[in-house]
Structure 1
Amino acid sequence: MYDPSKLKEAIDTKLMHSVIAKLPNGEIIGHCALTFDGPQNTSPEAGKMMVDPNYRGHQVAEKMAQKRIEIARTLALPGFWTECVTNHPYSQHEMIAFNAKETGLFIGDMPSTIAMKGLENHPDTRMSLLAFYLSIEDRPHTIYLPSNHTAHTQELAQDLNLDRKVLVSNQAGKGQTIINTVVNSGIQTANISVELIGNDFLQAVENQLKSIQYLNLASIYLDLPIQQEAASRAFEDLEKRGFFWGSWMPNYSSKGDVVRLQKINQTVNVDEIVCARPQGDSVKSYVVSEWKRTQKSA
């Protein structure tokens, strides 16, 4: 979001809450924000973190991140999530310091053309992002997943100290699927958001995929509302079509949690993914293994 008019609209409609760091002379040397996808999004993305390279190592990012948490508490949010780059561990350490936990990995999310001054870059492959969640005030509820994902999710919930009842169901969707797709041509990705899992779910997803097929996107994401009982079966059906676990996103909407699945249409060197601690390595291993498993059955 670099369009000034769109930025102004996001701020005016309270869909973005910014924190800036500036010098006494008014020079801005840093920025971060909480950004909501829409009015139903209750755990926003914490991102848009930028610090002037001349002021790295001066605790600028940490101070802005602390202020961002204070804003989240003022807004009575259940928490927020963020994506940390994996060409270095520094931003991961910042989230870990605030007790955020790893919940997933988005493989090859960022184009290789995006480079960071003074840091290691890999121009031969797209960069992956490690997802973190910071819980503030949980909203306990029941979620539905395939049996092969229940143990992993329960481990994540325990680590995050979130109260979740994880169930498995073969319930099919009812009614007509409500679904929407947004394309980000700048980074060659698309996000399919499912509001209601209907009895026409697979056909609805196929229609969305066909509508963007000509774009040859690098990655396609799908947000599945796992508080709906039909999510267990829908998740399994999506895996048969090449989607796989991206990240659990607790309290993402006012209705509950989602799992963001991903479908990768690219080659990514996962050996270049740097994690700051064993928990991150464990999440990375889980996601990469799911990628390999689903490609065999797709």
Structure 2
Amino acid sequence: MDIQLHISTDEQAISPICDFTHSWCLSCGLSENEATKFTIAVCELITDIILFAYPKKSVGFFDLTFRQTLSDIELIASEVGEPFDPDKHRYDPQRALHDNDFEGAGFRVIRRFTDDFLFINRGKEGKEFRLQKKINVKDIDELIELSRAKKPKEPKQKALPITYDIHQITPADAEDIAKLIYRTYDYSYTKEELYFPKKIEKTLLGKEKLGVITRSDKGKALGYFAILQKEDSNIAEVGEAVVSPSYRRQGIMSGMMEHLIKVAREHHLLALFGKAVTIHPVSQRVNQKFGFKTTGVMLLETNNVIFKGFDEDYPQPVSVVIDVLPLHPNNHKDLYLPEKHAYILLETYSLLDIPVTAKHDKSYKLADKSEAELQINYADSTALIVVEKYGPDFSSVLQEMLQSLIDQENPNVIYLDLPLENEATPSQFNKLEGLGFIYCGLAPFFHNESDYLRLQKICMPFDLNLVNVHSDFGQHIKSYITDEYSQHT
């Protein structure tokens, strides 16, 4: 969950912000030394903003967002003060030594005390600074190798017949969930937070996930399955699932999925979605069995997938298919579809049984300035830009964001979500020509209960033949993407 602060440019704010930052870093899992370094970096940044961003105003305001995952922390500072170019203010040791001129020293400290520092000029939306620091969790790959080296290969376990019940999870189940994950996967499960009972308990208390646990008649935990609710829309991702090896092939997974779908409907969620990996078809088949429909293929989506049974490393980041299950009958929608992708989008809506009329409005009105949210996944080397409003500066703002990401982050892929309920989308889509975006798919209900066209810009060489898609329509989307990609390369 993000922590957001709106702060005035009063020098008295510096000390309490730094105190809060240090405490927050420690609570997120940084050591005392690393927390101090990150706090110094934050202090340098906000001091520069407070002292120099608004020279002609007695009082200005800026925003801070504190964001945490298990593997890293991030601070995002946004302000609308005077424009400036950080490349024009680089630190020169000789100038500092001989002329006592320390210009640019603050940015040098920030880069030294963080793992990643990104500056983005967002035009009329001002400027954005992102400071990121990795949290030193024991390397999962190392633990896997240790477990393989120390443990003899276990014989295949025979399923034990048993009676069981499925219950909705509570915070009291946190330790059993962590034990289930460990006993089933050792330390190879991709979501490291599931090895920390306190973190599981925290998410359950915060209502961030809905889930079920399967227990035997004696109370033993046999399986766990959860959906993770999106912060910006009333949908949830089918994200975590495990059944103890000794009790597989007894309908436990199917029973939990059916129960979860029922729970999701009771909580009035609009839809469930899953990201099924394309390295093998198993998870895709499970989704298709329960009525999920493939709406897109996200190329190079994750670096952090480990699969038992594969003798060789997968040679590229793993792609995923987007599978969606609407949970209630859908009302008719009037949408503004870019002509280039209108046909495949209409095919996708038909597959989802969502009635749609494609509209065109050449008399649309732009916002005063563009608004777009940037989400960076540092662990997977991906970024997502979600367009909220189009302004006259849309093309320049987007190009500046792309250039900043490519120059400073070197991502594998950049995704772009365009709102299909905005009448300006078809014409603004045409301004993307030459930027290297290709089709990804339909993202229904993904932000603020609204539908988005997801595009993707591939930033590294890769082999599309290694992307295995199970469903017929998923293969149709892959073929469509392949044609577009070949044209761009």
TM-score normalized with structure 2 length: 0.55
Moved more, 262-271 or 46-55: 46-55
- Provide the alpha-carbon RMSD of the alignment: 2.6
1:18, 1:32 within 8 Å by CA — same for their partners in 2?
Answer: yes
Question: Residue deviations 1:211-255, cap 9 Å, x none?
Answer: 333111111112221110111122232353112221201222345
- 1:72 aligned to which of 246, 264, 267: 264
CA contact (8 A) 1:87 1:120 kept: no
Give yes or no for the alignment of 1:128 onto 2:319. Answer: yes
The secondary structure found in structure 2 opposite 1:44 is strand
Question: Structure 1 residues 121, 160: CA separation in 2 closer, same or farther (over 3 Å shift)?
Answer: farther
Indicate the structure (1 or 2) with the bigger Cα radius of gyration. 2
Distance across 2 between alignment mates of 1:118 and 1:22: 28
Task: Show the 5 A alignment for 1:62-141.
Answer: 62-111=254-303, 114-118=305-309, 123-137=314-328, 138-141=330-333
Other-structure match for 1:226: 420
2:234 aligned residue: 42
In structure 2, the residue matched to 1:262 is: 456
Task: Report the alpha carbon displacement of residue 269 of structure 1 after superposing the two structures with TM.
Answer: 1.5
Q: Displacement of 1:262 after TM fit?
A: 1.2
Corresponding residue number in structure 1 for 2:131? none
For structure 2, the 5+ residue unaligned runs are: 1-68, 71-192
Against the structure 1 CA distance between its residues 175 and 211, is the aligned structure 2 distance closer, same or farther, given a 3 Å change threshold?
same
C-alpha deviation, 1:122, in angstroms: 5.4
Letter in 2 for 1:208: M
Shift of 1:169: 4.6
Partner of 2:409: 215
Distance of aligned partners of 1:215 and 1:77 in 2 relative to their CA distance in 1, 3 Å threshold: same
CA–CA distance in 1 between the matches of 2:218 and 2:433? 54
Q: Which has the higher helix share?
A: 2
For residues 193 and 101 of structure 1, what CA distance do their matches in structure 2 show? 23
* 3-state SS of paired residue (1:124): coil
- Aligned partners of 1:178 and 1:194 also within 8 Å: yes
Residues 237 and 52 of structure 1: is their aligned pair in 2 closer, same or farther, counting only changes over 3 Å? farther
| Segment of structure 1 superposing worse, 57-66 or 244-253 | 57-66
Identity %: 26
Whether the 8 Å CA contact 1:249–1:259 is kept in 2: the answer is yes
User: Residue 336 of structure 2 contacts residue 423 of structure 2 at CA under 8 Å; is this kept in 1?
Assistant: yes
Name the CA distance, whole Å, in 2 between partners of 1:272 and 1:192.
26
Q: Which runs of 5+ in 1 are unaligned?
A: none
Q: Which amino acid aligns with 1:256?
A: S
Which residue does the alignment assign to 1:19? 212
2:483 to 276, 289, 295: 289
Pick one of 438, 445, 449 that aligns with 1:251: 445
User: Alpha-carbon deviation of 1:73?
Assistant: 0.3
Deviation at 1:203, TM superposition (A): 2.1
Report how many residues are paired: 293
Distance change >3 Å, CA 202–CA 93, structure 1 → 2: same
Look up the match of 1:161. 353
Cα distance in 2 for partners of 1:59, 1:239 equals 49
Cross-structure match for 1:190: 383
- Give the Cα separation in 2 of the matches to 1:238 and 1:25: 60
Match of 1:278 in 2: 472
Query: What is the rounded CA distance, in whole Å, between the counterparts of 1:8 and 1:291 in structure 2?
Result: 43
Taking structure 1 as reference, are residues 6 and 274 closer, same or farther at Cα in structure 2, changes over 3 Å only? Answer: same
- Confirm whether residue 204 of structure 1 aligns to residue 397 of structure 2: yes
